[in-house]
Amino acid sequence: MNLFDLDDRVTAAAVAAAGTIIGALIQLRVAWRKEVSERARGVPLTKKSRRGPVLAVLLLLIAAGVGGFALSQYLVSQSDRESAALRGELQTQLAQISATAERLERATLGDHGPTARADDFHRGAEDVTVTATVGPCRSRAVGDAAPGCTEQEALRVTLCGSMPSSAVVTALVLYARPEDTTQPWTESRVAPGQDVGRVRFADKSFERAESEQTKQVCTAFSDWDAEHAYSARLVVKYASDPALHEVSHAMVVPVSEER
């Protein structure tokens, strides 16, 4: 605490108080010497002579009040300066802590970059489902009772799922079941190229452009069963950039076949 580092108002009040005290002390001394001198000469005391000490005491009281005010102002200003210095120090420490936390966060993100990217990839995962019903298949032979189809005469459809052009296909799931069955779809999963009775999906799927913003992922389905109609389902799972997210839709495109 620096006693000489005072505010201008406090300094002025302190100077005024000091001057008042000095003046009061001088007046008391003068009045005391005058009273001693008059007593030595045997001069009786008058009211005027008695006012000197009273006035000096009054001045001392005023000076004490001014000095007390100056001291209180000094203590308050000193406390404010100390509080401001403490706040500045705390703000500096908080800034250092924030900078350290930011560096640690960047380092953590750098260490777990591949994992974070994988999480973002899975968060953007979507799927589109296409279902079609085909058959039963009847041969084109002329007659009252048309025989069943051969595999070469099978009914064929192409199931296509539409998605953004930037999407990345992560899985292709195929299902096939008779139309009149109660078997759940989860138990009707098949593999590409697998014969299920007299129906089969193509061995490979393919992609084709639909527009500037979308594309289609497709697979073919063949049915040469003469007794049952079959339902085929295609589920395409894909991941896309959320900024390029678009509403996906599905469609069934029949395949024209030349006989």
pLDDT digit string (tens) for 90-128? 888 888 898 888 888 888 766 655 554 555 445 557 889
Specify the pLDDT at position 258.
43
Average model confidence (pLDDT) for the chain? 76
Per-residue pLDDT, 153? 84
CA 155 to CA 254: how far, in whole Å? 9
Tell me which amino acid residue 133 is: T
Q: What local confidence, expressed as pLDDT, does residue 52 receive? A: 57
Question: Which residues of the chain fall below pLDDT 70?
Answer: 1-10, 12-14, 17, 24, 32, 35-36, 38-39, 41-61, 63, 66-67, 109-124, 140-147, 241-259
**How do the residues of the chain divide into helix, strand and coil, expressed in percent and rounded to 5?**
45, 25, 25
221, 193 in Cβ contact below 8 A?
Answer: no
Q: Which residues are registered as beta bridge partners of 157?
A: 221, 254
- CA distances for 147 relative to 119, 140, 228, angstroms: 55, 8, 14
Cis omega (within 30 of 0) for bond into 254? no
**pLDDT for the residue numbered 8:** 66
Question: Would strands 168-178 and 189-190 be described as parallel, antiparallel, or unpaired?
Answer: antiparallel
Determine the pLDDT at residue 74.
72
Map tokens 């000469």 to a residue: 41
| Extended strands (E) in 24-141 | 125-134
Angle 30-36-38 from CA coordinates, rounded to 5°: 100
The pTM is what? 0.46
pLDDT in tens, 178-208: 988 888 998 999 999 988 888 999 999 999 9
Which DSSP category does 151 fall into? G
Q: Output the CA torsion sign for 182, 187, 191, 192.
A: positive
d(CA 171, CA 173) in angstroms, rounded, equals: 6
Measured CA angle at 148 (ends 130, 137), to 5 deg: 20
